[in-house]
Structure 1
Amino acid sequence: MDVIATAGHVDHGKSTLVKALTGMEPDRWEEERRRGLTIDLGFAWTTLPWGRRLAVVDVPGHERFVGNMLAGVGSVPAALVVVAADDGWSAQTAEHVAVLDALGVRHGLLAVTKADLADPAPVLADATERLAGTSLGRLPAVAVSARTGEGMAELAAALEGVLAGLPAPDPTAAVRLWVDRAFTIRGAGTVVTGTLAAGTVRPGDRFALGGREVTVRGLQSLGAPVDAASATARVALNLRGTAVEEISRGDALLTPDAFRQATDVDVILAAETDDRLPAELVVHVGSATVAARVRPLDGAALRLRLAAPLPLRVGDRLLLRDPGARRVYGADVRDVDPPELRRRGAARTRGAELVEQPPGEAGARAELVRRRFVRRADWVAMGWPVPADVPAVGRWLVAPGVLTEAARRVPGVVAAHRAAHPLEPGPPSEVVRRELDLPDPELLAVVVRPPLALRDGRVVAGAAGLPPAVQRAVDGIRSRLADAPFAAPEAGDLAAAGLGPRELAAAVREEQLVRIADGVYLAPGVAEEARRRLAGLPQPFTVSQARQAWDTSRRVAVPLAEWLDARGVTVRLPDNTRRLR
């Protein structure tokens, strides 16, 4: 299916032309028909002679309903510009064309209506020339009379040609369906309509809508139930999970987690202007209308602070409207998560960055360099492409060179921490992560490289060892234990050797001593030696028998027996005797 929107002055025959083309009355309200005036959006559809299905969004032409007009053209890829032969180009025609130009619409058809009432040739020539200076360029043009049928066959053929040249939408893309109508059908419930510009919708699909989840109960396109609808298409969705009172024009049905709700947005004006922009403008995108405060940055760059968040992506085209001056400006979204501007001159610097930002993957790469790290899901939701040469670590995208630079800094961070804290085997991994400004611990595992390693929550060197003085003291204790492995030194002996609680803890971490209990330290291998001696005792045995086998004091024997119980070397029996497991 293809979708096209009308544009043009009130009373130039847009709705009459749509009815003659489709056989359907696009005006939905009794007041519209009574007054002969399109007030809200109208919809009609037909199958063109060569089989192409076409849906038409008929917009109001009166200046008082320009907001409704913008809601109709916001998601539509092509326009049918209508100018009456008996009236010619008007101020309202110019305003509608200015809207199309600001939105960057590049595909369309000029229809000069009421050809039975006046010679259409002068208007055709004038309108064609005026349109040539806009984004639409030199359009194909047809003179028609909806009343007599003159030129209608030519109009259908010209439409076929225009629609055949439209860029193909992506049926696999995330869905962002801007709601242009919401109503209730008895027996069905809430129904919303909109123009599906990308993606595919099926019954059973779940979407985010205004902070809640809704489910598509049923789906229609062009007035008939369908099993699926792919862009571009006019669709009506019967929703479960919301009431019609909770939905407004401008809301959007979104693929969950695929879009970022933006409040601050950096944009570049699509065309140079000498106008002094006001402090507040109205932002139009899709069918949404939101007020925004304007902060000029540098040149054509602006920062918009939206009065309500919108699901925007980098590359979206916004229309900025100054209602007081009846001026419109096109603006391209460059960032939906912009940096704060705190320092003097930051706004000018940021504006220059935006103006110089290249398109496509080159721009994405430059933006990633600025951010250093970003979650892949957030990056895609913002609308950036993922450059092929960008490294990914788990859920993170990382700017080229950042990991290499971080890995280069790690040894220095570890050495500095060891110098300040010589009894620690290395800095805690969280300290290193913060020092390197890494957003996630999983990135640390990539930048800690041999001979450094992550162990027990710290970044340690393979052979960091103890400070020399501490090592000498520990060697002395172990030398004594070599001759009497269960003669744990007294607290005074440890202190005299310079081994306080911190030094002893470091020796235990380095596996040079074994802590049996407070104040009781023995050499590594004590469990095996204790078991060997206990094996020579009759089973079960008492603590007193174990003490004699170990040739030690009760101060050591009691905690050592409990320590062996805890490690499964021995089993304590109900009568407080023990046996080897």
Structure 2
Amino acid sequence: MLVIATAGHVDHGKSTLVRALTGMEPDRWAEERRRGMTIDLGFAWTALPSGGTVAFVDVPGHERFVTTMLAGAGSCPAAMIVVAADEGWHVQSGEHLAALDLLGVRHGLLVITRADLADPAPALAEARSRLRGTGLAAIPALAVSGVTGQGLPELVAALDRLAAELPPPAADGPVRLWVDRVFTITGVGVVVTGTLAAGTLRTGDTLHLDGEPVQVRGLQTLNTRADLVTATARVAVNLRGPVALSRGAALLTPDAWYLTTSADVRLSPGEPPKGDLLLHIGSAAVPTRIRPLGADTARLSFARALPLRVGDRALLRDPSRSDVHTGVVVLDVRPPALTRRGAAAARGAALTAAGAAPGAADLLRWHGLLSGADLTAMGVTAPPSPLPGDWHVDPEHWAGLRKALGETVAAAKDRRLTVEAATHLLGLPDRRLTRALVAPPLTVEAGVIGRRDLAPSPLPPQLRRAVDRLRAELADRPFQAPSARRLAELGLTGRALAAVERAGAVLVVTDGVVLLPEAPDQAAKRLRELSGPFTVSQARVALQTTRRVAVPLLEMLDRLGHTKRRDNESRTFAPVNGQI
């Protein structure tokens, strides 16, 4: 489906042209028809000779409704710029063209209307000169009359060619449906409409709205029910449950987008706007503050969280002046805090050095460590990673972490540190990264990191024999912690127990519960075999242990990031990047 937005000055015949092409009335409100002027978004569609469909998003041309115009055009891949032959180029013609150019629209048609009222050549020549220097300079041009039908067959053929020339959308990509209409139907519930620019929607899908799940109860495209709608398409989505939303909200594929209240951006050339600003992206218009970072870079802070990706294009404008606006290209959706003197200038220089389109290497240089899912949600392609768990790291940052690990182990008591403790001290999100950092002279054995050149004093023979007996007793049932009486019989109490714990030979889970150092990893592996959320009782059975051991061991797994409390009764496992 070709989805195309109209653009042009008020009363230049946009709605008349859409009506002539489709036989449908795009002006939905009686007030619009009474005044002869579009004041809200209109929608109409028709079949193309090739068998495809063209859907029109008819936007208002009056300067008072520029926000509505941007809401309609923001998600459309193409535009039909309409200029009346008897009026020529006007103010809103230029402002609409500038907005489309800054939003990155590069496909469309130039249509000179009312060719029955005046010679279209002068209007066409002026429009061509206005388009020069923009991304729409080379679009085809036609002269038509919506009243007499002159040129309409040629326009339909041009629309068919345009549909074939547009780059194919990512039908398997994540959904970000910017909502441009919201209404309620008795017996049906809340319905929203928008232009599906990428991805596929299915009845029964769960989407996210402001971070909360909503379910797709039903779908329509062009007034026809569907179980599946693939981009590009105009779509109406019936949502299940109580939903409170308005134009500018976005329905998202879960976990595929990064919601952010600030972003670092590149601005189009020229003086950036100041004061109270609005950021227009998709159908959203969000109050925004700007902080310049460099000649053409800035940090934007939004009044509400937005689902943004690197490379997104948006428009920043002063709502009090329709001629004051600038284009925005998103460079980073997780910008670092600017707390030190000179940090803003340094950040601006780093953004400038990244060039027109930051890639994975740039984001890793700025953030140090990111997962593959992080990079994808931020809008870049994650390269293959040699690190476990699909983690990606900047080489300089990795070298710094390796140095810090060596220093941390050297400073630890007895020059030994458990993997869990080292992970916490280095602020790493995954124990596997800590293990990957271990390199000579560091070693890791039984969950303890040490240094060959700074080896601790060996345990006295009697403590080593006690640990060996404990290890033998726990070999078959590693979570059957010995009783206090048995620990006393082994001589593992008081200072002796503290010594073997410091040496990394045992793990004191809590007072009276002593296991081997590898117990947390072993427990996590075994519990992952349970399907779905699990209770303490289920964990106790799976681990073949008692509640005395299961409760503190599960609490340790929570702290280590293996598991996460769902409610008072059950737990789930952390996302895949936290797996063993």
Which residue of 2 is the match for residue 426 of structure 1?
Answer: 416
237, 246, 255: which one aligns with 1:248: 246
The CA distance in 2 between the partners of 1:343 and 1:295, in whole Å, is 15
The CA distance in 1 between the partners of 2:113 and 2:99, in whole Å, is 21
Superposition RMSD on alpha carbons, in Å? Answer: 2.8
SS in 1 for 2:417: coil
The CA distance in 1 between the partners of 2:502 and 2:136, in whole Å, is 74
Larger radius of gyration, structure 1 or 2?
A: 1
The CA distance in 1 between the partners of 2:118 and 2:27, in whole Å, is 26
392, 400, 403: which one aligns with 1:397: 392
Which residue of 2 is the match for residue 59 of structure 1?
Answer: 59
Instruction: Measure how far apart 1:139 and its partner are.
Output: 1.9
Which residue of 1 is the match for residue 535 of structure 2?
Answer: none
Provide Cα deviations, 1:24-67, integer angstroms capped at 9, x if missing partner: 11111111111111010000000122322110000011111111
Instruction: Measure how far apart 1:374 and its partner are.
Output: 1.5
The CA distance in 2 between the partners of 1:259 and 1:181, in whole Å, is 22
Instruction: Measure how far apart 1:128 and its partner are.
Output: 1.2
- In the superposition, relative to structure 1, how do residues 427 and 210 fare at CA in structure 2: closer, same or farther (>3 Å)? closer
SS in 2 for 1:180: strand
Provide Cα deviations, 1:129-172, integer angstroms capped at 9, x if missing partner: 11122221122111101110001011111222222221110000
Equivalent residue letter for 1:25? E
SS in 1 for 2:105: coil
1:355 maps onto 2:352 in alignment = yes
Which residue of 2 is the match for residue 262 of structure 1?
Answer: 260
Which residue of 2 is the match for residue 460 of structure 1?
Answer: 450
Q: Map 1:117-266 to 2 at 5 A.
A: 117-243=117-243, 246-266=244-264
Q: Map 1:420-499 to 2 at 5 A.
A: 421=413, 424=414, 426-433=416-423, 436-449=426-439, 452-455=442-445, 458-461=448-451, 467=457
Contact 1:391/1:399, CA 8 A, preserved across alignment? no
Q: TM-score, normalised by structure 2?
A: 0.77
Instruction: Measure how far apart 1:504 and its partner are.
Output: 8.4
SS in 1 for 2:416: coil
Contact 1:116/1:145, CA 8 A, preserved across alignment? yes
SS in 1 for 2:337: coil
The CA distance in 2 between the partners of 1:324 and 1:58, in whole Å, is 24
The CA distance in 2 between the partners of 1:190 and 1:256, in whole Å, is 20
* Unaligned runs of at least 5 residues, structure 1: 479-499, 513-581
Which residue of 2 is the match for residue 531 of structure 1?
Answer: none
- In the superposition, relative to structure 1, how do residues 280 and 51 fare at CA in structure 2: closer, same or farther (>3 Å)? same
- In the superposition, relative to structure 1, how do residues 509 and 136 fare at CA in structure 2: closer, same or farther (>3 Å)? closer
The CA distance in 2 between the partners of 1:180 and 1:511, in whole Å, is 60
The percentage of aligned residue pairs carrying the same residue is: 54
Instruction: Measure how far apart 1:381 and its partner are.
Output: 1.4
Worse overlay, 33-42 or 351-360 = 351-360
Which residue of 1 is the match for residue 101 of structure 2?
Answer: 101
Which residue of 1 is the match for residue 36 of structure 2?
Answer: 36
Contact 2:359/2:381, CA 8 A, preserved across alignment? no
Provide Cα deviations, 1:228-286, integer angstroms capped at 9, x if missing partner: 1111100011111234xx110001110111111110111101x310x353133110000
SS in 2 for 1:248: coil
Instruction: Measure how far apart 1:372 and its partner are.
Output: 1.7
SS in 2 for 1:28: coil
Instruction: Measure how far apart 1:83 and its partner are.
Output: 0.4
1:365 maps onto 2:355 in alignment = no
Q: Map 1:256-405 to 2 at 5 A.
A: 256-269=254-267, 271-273=268-270, 275=271, 277-326=273-322, 327-358=324-355, 363-388=359-384, 390-400=385-395, 402-403=397-398
- In the superposition, relative to structure 1, how do residues 214 and 444 fare at CA in structure 2: closer, same or farther (>3 Å)? same
Which residue of 1 is the match for residue 489 of structure 2?
Answer: none
Provide Cα deviations, 1:8-38, integer angstroms capped at 9, x if missing partner: 1111000000010111111111111111110
Instruction: Measure how far apart 1:358 and its partner are.
Output: 3.4
Worse overlay, 502-511 or 315-324 = 502-511
Q: TM-score, normalised by structure 1?
A: 0.77
The CA distance in 2 between the partners of 1:510 and 1:37, in whole Å, is 81
Instruction: Measure how far apart 1:344 and its partner are.
Output: 1.2
- In the superposition, relative to structure 1, how do residues 53 and 510 fare at CA in structure 2: closer, same or farther (>3 Å)? closer
Contact 2:293/2:299, CA 8 A, preserved across alignment? yes
SS in 2 for 1:192: strand
